[in-house]
Amino acid sequence: MIADFPFRLLAILVLAVLSAGSTPAGAVASAQVTIDLGAGPVNTFTPAVALGAGVDGHARGDASAIYRPATLRAMRSVGLRPLTYRLRTELGIEAWHWNPRGHWSDRKNAQGYWTSNDHPGAPILTSFGYRLPRRGNTIDQAEDNGYSRLADGDPDTFWKSNPYLDRRYTGEDRHPQWLIADLGQKIPVNAIRISWGIPYAVRYSVQYWDGEDQDLPDGYPEGQWRTFPEGMVTAGGGGDGILRLAPDARPARYLRVLLEASSASAPPGASDPRDALGYAVREVSIGTLGADGELRDAVRHAASRKQQTHFFVSSTDPWHRATDLDPDVEQAGIDRVFASGLTHGLPMLVPVGVLYDTPDNAAALLRYLKRRGYPLRGIELGEEPDGQYIAPEDYGALYLQAVDALRAVDAAVPLGGPSFQSLWDEPMMAWAGTSVAPDRPWLARLLSYLQARGRADDLGFLSFEWYPFDDVCAPVAPYLQQAPARLAEAMANLYQQGLPRSTPLLITEYGYSAFATQAEVDLAGALFNADVVGTFLTQGGSAAYLYGYEPSPLDREPQVDCETWGNNTLFVSDQKRNILARTATYHGARLLARQWAGNPTQAHWLYPARVDGESTDTPPLSAYALQRPDGLWAVLLVNKDPTQPWSVALRFAGPEPDAVAWLQGPADLFQFSAAQYQWRAQGKHGRPRRSRPPEHRVLRAHAPLELQLPPWSLTVIRSGGPPARPDTPVRVR
């Protein structure tokens, strides 16, 4: 119900303050923003829950450089309060020793499966990742400096699938594993040589991709897997032999070996039962058989990502050794993060490894956190499994094992995931045909897996990351104008795949792109981030965590053709993480957290706002209307037109559309545009020419005001208005 108020149109507000050099008067376009109070708010949230940021792993030595008092004060000053801890080791195909103290399953040889010590001792200031020596993927999502053991040319190394996907742990038979070779282009193929490790496959099929030819891992070609005429093996004996796949060679770029039954045998001297679970392959060669019976191998074998033929695998054994410590990456220690003040004393969202770790290590972390008395927003299980080609059923099986281990420690802590890399709405070629059910999108198959086991409620929240623009050389303005609709469509797709609308949604990372570009440190980044927060909350989201909390130097993607330097960060820094300048992202995030939002611990009501232009064209504007707990209205306006100022009239729509009223009391205007911020591109030495906070003016008139929105700007207008909060608010998120 609308509160008792003589319902009228709120004043016509046309927001001005043009930036220097803007379009001359007379060329100003006009639009109207309508705030609809009739149906009540679309969402209710508290900023201390909904508006957050994340900290991540970085290079060795960065934690001590970042977690200094002056830097932490600068980070806290933005006003973002809840915190999420990102797990870079999970992206790098590494096991996370979240506590450097702990024990190995094979203590004598300092190897096997690691479990960190769950008893508090000296504060944990840094933690580390350990590379997995049984790795099968050539490419990873972190430093990307590892390589596959399937084509490293070393007969003593091997890839091994994750033993936790065996029936011993899952209670299920249907978890086929696979390896894929990308030969780079279609070449004649009629034979394969597989040098098996132990355990080996007793039943498997060799297949080729019949369909489109696109680069992996970024391409998603249409087609299907077809088994070679002689590519099915039902009584494999391991060893090292050549298998003829067809009488005649046929062109193929992608080959998949689908592994369906294991020998369940252990290598000599093995004592851990996990050594006998899954599949092990030492080396793979692919090509054509000559008249002499020799294989003409098309696979490039090298202990180098850049030199070897690319391989992709379904899973990886988290077994490793003390000597596998990654010298290049570290995570800030759990105790260091909680002591930093970045959590503001609020519950933190903490990750555990799933793809490359063990349930025991996850449970140990939760015991440690509880013994320290640290408040938790929840536990996020895994990081970007979809971007690492794991089948949804395999992730589901590993997820449930981690859930069971965590629930044994604390039955009430919220658990969720999977921190989607993307919101794919189609099946992936990697795991096509591996399920008894028809191929469907990743989330749809994960939900079906959980539901079939009566475990749907174990997905306590769904998390995803949002970096929608991969082409960092493309014009920025069209992308900015598409961004809100793209996010709204992606969120709607989650529900179309079967996600219950009662499941809380979390964006655990967001930014313009996952790749470095000037847009991230320029005005465009601030505009994009504001639209993400506004759109996400309007669509019912629960919490959005900005990526780039820590100071970072500028970077450039080596593979792009354009000269663009940037980073997702609040602060441009030197290589030692000393802050050199605040970016537009800092000023934009602070505007939302401190001016658009009010008291961070109280409920805010978000109402739908529609933008209509003077013509049939859709204005490049966005509007997000809040009623704050102090009773004030705060409207966030985003002008994504890079050259055109816009006049905007605000009105409230409701059951009495004829009535008109002006603003109640003075209005605060906050505006951020080129007048406050301008970037100077100079390669890795790029800096803002000016970097000032938003302009603040108090508008005291009670009559209609004629003002303008500058090109590429953020504006917050804040004033009294109709007391439209419902008698029964929607759920506070």
Q: Are residues 69 and 112 in the same domain?
A: yes
CATH number at residue 343: 3.20.20.80
Does the residue 462 lie in any domain? Answer: yes
Q: Which of 541, 569, 596 is the last residue of a domain?
A: 596
Q: Are residues 521 and 546 in the same domain?
A: yes
CATH number at residue 267: 2.60.120.260
Q: Are residues 540 and 509 in the same domain?
A: yes
Does the residue 731 lie in any domain? Answer: no
Residue 30: exposed, middle, or buried by beta-carbon count in 10 A (0-12, 13-18, 19+)?
A: middle
Residues contacting 502, CB < 8 A, separation 6+: none
CA 118 to chain centre: 28
Q: Which of 258, 291, 317 is the last residue of a domain?
A: 317
pLDDT at 364: 98
Look up residue 513 and give its DSSP letter.
-
Does the residue 367 lie in any domain? Answer: yes
Does the residue 8 lie in any domain? Answer: no
Low-confidence ranges of the chain (pLDDT < 50): 1-26, 658-662, 727-733
pTM equals: 0.93
Domain hosting 255: range is: 159-317
Q: Which of 258, 288, 317 is the last residue of a domain?
A: 317
Q: Are residues 242 and 313 in the same domain?
A: yes
DSSP-derived 3-state class of residue 103: strand
Q: Are residues 175 and 267 in the same domain?
A: yes
pLDDT at 145: 92
Does the residue 727 lie in any domain? Answer: no
The dihedral sign for the CA sequence 722, 723, 727, 733: positive
Q: Are residues 21 and 60 in the same domain?
A: no
End-to-end C-alpha distance for the chain, whole angstroms: 21
Q: How far apart are CA 730 and CA 733, in angstroms?
A: 9
Q: Are residues 260 and 349 in the same domain?
A: no
Does the residue 4 lie in any domain? Answer: no
Does the residue 529 lie in any domain? Answer: yes
Of residues 485, 651, 536, 487, the one with CA closest to residue 43: 536
CATH number at residue 650: 2.60.40.1180
Structural domain count of the chain: 3
Rg over CA atoms, the chain: 28
pLDDT at 190: 97
Q: Are residues 35 and 58 in the same domain?
A: no
Q: Are residues 569 and 454 in the same domain?
A: yes
Q: How far apart are CA 325 and CA 60, in angstroms?
A: 12
Q: Are residues 411 and 528 in the same domain?
A: yes
Q: Are residues 187 and 326 in the same domain?
A: no
